[in-house]
Amino acid sequence: MSVLAGQTILVTGARGGIGAACALKLAEQGAQIILSDIREPTATFDALAPHAQEHLSTVADVSDTTSVSALFDEIDRSAPMLTGLVHCAGIIHEKPLLDTGIEEFDRVININLRGSFLVGQEAIRRLEGREGRILLTSSDLGVSGRETFSPYVASKHGVMGLMRSWAKEFGPRIKVNALCPGPIDTDMLGVAQMSPEWRAREMAIPAERFGKPSEVAAMAAFLMGPDADFITGQGIGVNGGSVMP
């Protein structure tokens, strides 16, 4: 398939999990991929080798203005004109509110929300006046909420606010949406370390299982493709029914 041929897409959080799956799926569909993560996404870059496009691997801290500026300077120098962003970089945080320090709150907000703002802003600078796609990553908890996750939930609600505002500000040429994954089997979720009780809670959804990163990536590829041209300003749940807005 080459429905994304001619597209150059930045994928953040590309070292593993949902980000790596998105990068691979987009490359399979013909896009040139710019990989970025806080550590070198070597394994993901190697996995793209069967796809003939000239991919680029970069390192950046999405919460740091200098690092994000350097990332986009490198993209400007080394890659064709950017056509899209799939922003997957983020962290999860679970802790009772009364045990959560302000430093922990700031770290979650800085990576998840500030990072979305910084990377999205720079991507839109390069897309403004042209057709393009921005895909942020929120969460099913960015639609609902959950006890002991308040900084994470706040950050993901904030991502939804950015997405909706940008969709209105930059439409119709730039389509802006957000993925809202539910319980996905990734290292970040830590399925292997879950207690039986917590695992049962996560699986108490209509699908009765954890999702796979490849299932989120399939939705990302659709939203970045031509068949999604009438979709903008939406938080798309890939969640097995964990949240039904």
Catalytic residues: 152
Task: Find all residues with CB under 8 Å of 240, minimum gap 6, and list them.
Answer: 182, 183, 205, 206, 207, 208, 209, 210, 211
CA torsion, ordered 192, 195, 198, 203, to nearest 10 deg: 50
Which helix (DSSP H) or strand (DSSP E) does residue 170 occupy? helix 150-170
Rounded to whole angstroms, the Cα distance separating 208 from 110 reads: 33
Asked whether 211 and 188 are in contact (CB, 8 A), the reply is no
Question: Could you tell me the end-to-end alpha-carbon distance of the chain, in angstroms, rounded to an integer?
Answer: 33
Asked whether 94 and 73 are in contact (CB, 8 A), the reply is no
Question: What are phi and psi for residue 85, nearest 5 degrees?
Answer: -135, 130
Asked whether 13 and 181 are in contact (CB, 8 A), the reply is no
Burial (Cβ within 10 Å: 0-12, 13-18, ≥19) of residue 91: middle
